[in-house]
Amino acid sequence: MKGVFITFEGIEGCGKSTQTHLLSRHLEAEGHDVVVTREPGGTPIAEAVREILLDPANEAMTPLTELLLYEAARAQHVHELIRPAIEAGSVVLCDRFFDSTTAYQGAGRRLPDIDFERLHALATGGLSPDMTIFLDLPVDVGLKRATDFSAPDRIEGEAIEFHERVRRGFLDLAERHPERIKSLDATGKPEDIAIAVSALVDPLVES
């Protein structure tokens, strides 16, 4: 049996990691074999690239270098972990995937003249999520949640206008791909959001 590939997306502090965790517990209780992973990261090489990407000391990094490092980490992650897990029949839950690159590097960094879809296809070998859950909330709420208990990393430390463009980037993606990307209001209680997430995912994993 072929597995299912589900991604979570959203701005900083939207609760993706919590929802990924809650959904994995729910699916495991239903008897599914679940693999939880994240981007950038998920394998030793991709986690090493993550360190470089998020280190606030790397302020000299150009937007193009940043873009290519996210895609490089993704290429390794898909090859080494995601594709084999899907082929083994697992439900793969990934905290961020290529929509984050379109939103952060495309809309956030405003990289001109780049065909993001072609670049994603190159990095992933054409793999796309079966469903993407976009957890939407206002930027000020998300940034407060994300930086209340820890120092901001290189991306979190960007100006509020950058994060506003990222949110708009996600909203545009959700509008362009309504069959794949499902938007949920992320301002509510985690338990209530988890119920909404399960209602979207259950029919997909049961089919």
Could you list the residues that contact ligand TMP (CB under 6 A)? 12, 38-40, 70, 96, 100-101, 104-105, 155-156
Alpha helix locations (H) across the chain?
16-29, 44-54, 63-77, 83-87, 98-101, 116-124, 139-147, 160-176, 190-206
Say whether the peptide bond before residue 40 is cis (omega within 30 degrees of 0).
Answer: yes
Residue 83 or 145: the one with the smaller Cβ distance to ligand TMP is 145
Name every residue whose Cβ is closer than 8 Å to that of residue 180 and which is 6 or more positions away in sequence.
128, 129, 130, 131, 132
Q: How far is the CB of 153 from ligand TMP (least distance, A)?
A: 6
Residue 121 or 155: the one with the smaller Cβ distance to ligand TMP is 155
Minimal CA–CA distance to 64: which of 119, 127, 124?
A: 119
Residues 182, 131 contacting (CB under 8 angstroms): yes
The residues pairing with 5 across neighbouring beta strands, listed in sequence order, are 92
Residue 106 or 205: the one with the smaller Cβ distance to ligand TMP is 106
Tokens at residue 153, please? 């990393």
Residue 27 or 97: the one with the smaller Cβ distance to ligand TMP is 97
Residue 150 or 207: the one with the smaller Cβ distance to ligand TMP is 150
Residue 136 or 156: the one with the smaller Cβ distance to ligand TMP is 156
Q: How far is the CB of 84 from ligand TMP (least distance, A)?
A: 20
Residues 188, 17 contacting (CB under 8 angstroms): no
Minimal CA–CA distance to 102: which of 77, 130, 132?
A: 132
Residues 98, 123 contacting (CB under 8 angstroms): yes
